[in-house]
Chains A and B, each alone.
Chain A
Amino acid sequence: MISQLSWKIGGQQGEGVESTDRIFSTALNRLGYYLYGYRHFSSRIKGGHTNNKIRISTYPIRAISDDLDILVAFDQESIDLNAKELRSGGVIVADAKFKPVVPEGIDARLFAVPITAMAEELGTSLMKNMVASGASWALLGLPLEVFNKAVEEEFGRKGAAIVEKNIEAVKRGAEFVLEQAGGPLNEFKLEDADGQQKLFMIGNEAIGLGCVAAGCRLMSAYPITPASEIMEYLIKKLPALGGTVVQTEDEIAAVTMAIGANYAGVRTMTASAGPGLSLMMEAIGLAGMTETPLVIVDTQRGGPSTGLPTKQEQSDLNAMVYGTHGEIPKIVIAPASIEDCFYDMIEAFNLAEQYQVPVIVMTDLQLSLGKQSCEPFDYNSIQINRGKLVQEGPELEQHQLFKRYELTEDGVSPRILPGAKNGIHHVTGVEHDEVGRPSESAINRLKMMDKRLHKLDGLFIREGLRVDAPNETPDLLIIGMGSTGGTIDQAREWLANDGITTNHITIRQIHPFPTEQLIPHLQQAKKVVVIENNATAQLAGQIKMNAGFAEKIRNLLKYDGNPFLPSEVYKACKELD
């Protein structure tokens, strides 16, 4: 009995790889297994190799695995590209139609199943993914009725006849392969899971759900990979709450529409990736200058320019921290798990209103699109905080305006919404006085700049640093952000086996940088390695600039478009100078 294994399906884009993965993982989730998915795809719709990998486990996992146990292949290319991941004794389930061969030097067991032929016998080659997934499910010896239930849910709306045919396809694939193999494969027999169904979702869905829970009722956005799932989720959910999603003509309209709506009192967000973030920069400055709450999600992908639009990277950090001309207060937070994606959206909307600043939520492609198990969300724990929002202003004399930019001790001024009585004031991106009227006075300029720029002094959000520090003076402190946490933890287990003690810090508050909180950890560590998916060590740069310790800090960088593998992190940590 084993406690975890990895399964991958590969084929041409548009061939049913996605739906097979979906049904397979839904069924596993029903049994209570923890899952972690990874999608490899290209920036095209039909054609081009694509594959989905799922790691299946009886205990929580947050990283893809280095190796692979079962590969389901719709074509020889999928075998050629992925067989090297198979561990010795792994299994390939392939369509007999293309006369599959195991590449030289690979020790794998091949099951050639007449996948296309069986599907065509049932009426359409479309069902070949059902034959293939039925076969691989059967090899695991998992209960077929659970799989059939997932099939029923996937195809239910297409009618009973379609469901029946698909279930028959699953059965035929299963029977064929079991006969060839002489029954389920013992070496792949998974221990029973806890039977507790987990939530199973991608980061973008958790972000969408988080927005709904945060009271966000409008989104304005322009489609882009890998952010579009957020708008696609919200357009399904917001109408029932009286809200909507507007697909704008570009990202400049998306962000400025969100600024207008936030100014008028609705929690509104936009989401994009690097190219869209670049277009939003001027407007982010407007939000900062006019102290208008604003929430932006940046799902990072490979840059610069169009870069690697469907690949992993964490290279927008500097753009988020420094972007927009001039100087404004701004918050950048980086969720590091599916749970974070949900709760951080509530945090982001609260921070935006409490401090009246733009808040950027930074994810990366693997966190946004990787489907994984997560713990249930506690709606009761959610508090909505609208900061210094007032319903009505004080009695005003003729020509007297509401002090929307009143100089206060904490720099945050009362905020009132258009429509409110005794609240009229002006809002402008031009430097302005306490009621918002343009002013070029040097004295006023200094007061207003200081007011805005000191609003965030001392800010430290919930788990701004996620600290796992079991060692008082670790050999190595590993620092990361975003989706890399699970991979780092996996590598740490192996390092511990080698007698190397490690602590792990995930930086979740990227800006303003939590310098004070990080320094003690840097002091204690003998050596520090900062792990990030970019070429210029942007996170390490923030640490060195704010906290120092440059002599201790080493970089582990990856910018080939792929997430870190645990073995890469392990190896690099072992070999640190």
Chain B
Amino acid sequence: MATFKEFRNNVKPNWCPGCGDFSIQAAIQRAAANVDLEPEDLAVISGIGCSGRISGYINAYGLHGIHGRALPIAQGVKLANRELTVIASGGDGDGFAIGMGHTVHAIRRNLNITYIVMDNQIYGLTKGQTSPRSAEGFKTKSTPEGSIESTLSPLEIAMSAGATFVAQSFSSDLKQLTALIEAGIKHEGFSLINVFSPCVTFNKINTYDWFKENIVNLEQFPDYDPANRIAAMNKIMETNGMLTGLIYQNTQRKSYEDMISGFGTEALAKQDLTLSQEHFNKLVAEFK
């Protein structure tokens, strides 16, 4: 059985010292070991941005694709080989700006993959422009007088798109984050885990201290029931989206793979590519 160390490689991340993404990388590695994966059983598919580099920093199969498209690539990987554990990952620009269309439809489709968003409320790799997650009034290089667009609430969007697993965490809380990623991997369907991951270089507002002051941990509410969709939506709104923990989980809905007519339980990639002559003749007979 692999330990979390076996999910490490010798590539030095190019993230800034203190970046929240380091802890997310560690949490993925720990969660993968905790659910008994071997490195070759895991595929990490990432987008473009600082956070997108994560697939190169984990000892597992990884694909670093194009901006905003981690989710359709990850869904393709999962359809081809459902025996793999597939984690898609990227930043808030990747998932909620350029890739928002895919995020909503991946949620609706509900393939059994885990999507970890490294949400720093800013564009880091392009050196500090506004993100859909930036607060109104947030001053950046592209919004010198402050952002005049409303802040996007990914949790509300996920809930309304029919998400079956919605969680949020904070990169400083490695224990909670690791547990949520484990739960996301085990969830039979699409799991969205949004993670506050402070950008220490370009975001001087949403800092570690700011998050510590502003977030509410769901552990504070012992009666909270993540199976209750209405309660989940209320809690997201009451806290203005600043909550952490498992917010919602629907264990009743089957994953996409389990609902496709005729779809095998074995990896499609392992199936024989040839047809019997009889099968082929039957296909051709339709055109006579």
Binding site for B on A (CB under 8 A): 29, 197-201, 205, 209, 212-215, 217-218, 220, 237-244, 246, 248-250, 252-254, 256-268, 282-283, 285-286, 290, 376-377, 379-380, 384, 399, 401, 417-421, 423-430, 437-438
Q: Contact: A260 with B74, CB < 8 Å?
A: yes
Q: Contact: B76 with A257, CB < 8 Å?
A: yes
Given contacts A286-B65, A427-B63, A267 and B273 within 8 Å (CB-CB): yes
Q: Contact: B56 with A437, CB < 8 Å?
A: yes
Complex interface bits, B275-288 against A, C-beta within 8 A gives 1, otherwise 0: 10100100110011
B10 interfacial contact with A, CB 8 Å: yes
Q: Contact: A212 with B275, CB < 8 Å?
A: yes
Q: B98's closest neighbor in chain A, by CB? A: A252
Q: Contact: A376 with B284, CB < 8 Å?
A: yes
27 interchain pairs (CB within 8 A)? A198-B288, A201-B287, A215-B274, A218-B80, A241-B275, A242-B264, A246-B75, A246-B109, A248-B72, A249-B105, A250-B101, A253-B105, A258-B76, A259-B76, A260-B72, A260-B77, A263-B77, A263-B80, A286-B66, A379-B275, A399-B9, A418-B77, A425-B61, A426-B62, A427-B64, A429-B65, A429-B66
In the complex, which residues 118-136 of chain B have their Cβ closer than 8 Å to any Cβ of chain A? none
B102 interfacial contact with A, CB 8 Å: yes
User: Among B11, B72, B263, which residue has its beta carbon within 8 angstroms of that of A256?
Assistant: B72
Q: Contact: B64 with A265, CB < 8 Å?
A: no
Bound CA–CA A314/B64 (angstroms): 35
Question: What are the 8 tightest A-B residue pairs by CB atom distance, in nearest-first order?
Answer: A260-B76, A215-B273, A239-B262, A265-B269, A264-B80, A418-B61, A261-B76, A260-B73
Q: Contact: A290 with B262, CB < 8 Å?
A: no
Q: Contact: B268 with A217, CB < 8 Å?
A: yes
Question: Which B residues touch A249, using CB under 8 A?
Answer: 101-102, 104-105
Given contacts A212-B275, A218-B79, A266 and B268 within 8 Å (CB-CB): yes
Question: Which A residues touch B180, using CB under 8 A?
Answer: none
Q: A245's closest neighbor in chain B, by CB? A: B260
Interface size class of B (residues with CB under 8 A): 35 or more
Question: Which B residues touch A205, using CB under 8 A?
Answer: 287
Q: Contact: A424 with B81, CB < 8 Å?
A: no
Q: Contact: A384 with B274, CB < 8 Å?
A: yes
Q: Contact: A428 with B56, CB < 8 Å?
A: yes
Question: Which A residues touch B40, using CB under 8 A?
Answer: 418-421, 423-424
Q: How far is the CB of A222 from chain B (nearest CB, A)?
A: 11
Bound CA–CA A217/B60 (angstroms): 26
Complex interface bits, B59-94 against A, C-beta within 8 A gives 1, otherwise 0: 111111110010111111111110110000000000
Given contacts A384-B273, A438-B56, A429 and B64 within 8 Å (CB-CB): yes
User: Among B55, B59, B72, B80, which residue has its beta carbon within 8 angstroms of that of A253?
Assistant: B72
Interface centre among A215, A427, A430 (most CB of B within 10 A): A427
Q: A199's closest neighbor in chain B, by CB? A: B287
Question: Which A residues touch B43, using CB under 8 A?
Answer: 264, 418
B220 interfacial contact with A, CB 8 Å: no
Q: How far is the CB of A306 from chain B (nearest CB, A)?
A: 20
A218-B79, A259-B73 are known; give 11 further A-B pairs, CB within 8 A. A199-B287, A209-B287, A257-B76, A257-B79, A260-B75, A261-B79, A265-B269, A376-B284, A417-B81, A418-B84, A424-B40
Q: How far is the CB of A558 from chain B (nearest CB, A)?
A: 30
Q: Contact: B65 with A264, CB < 8 Å?
A: no
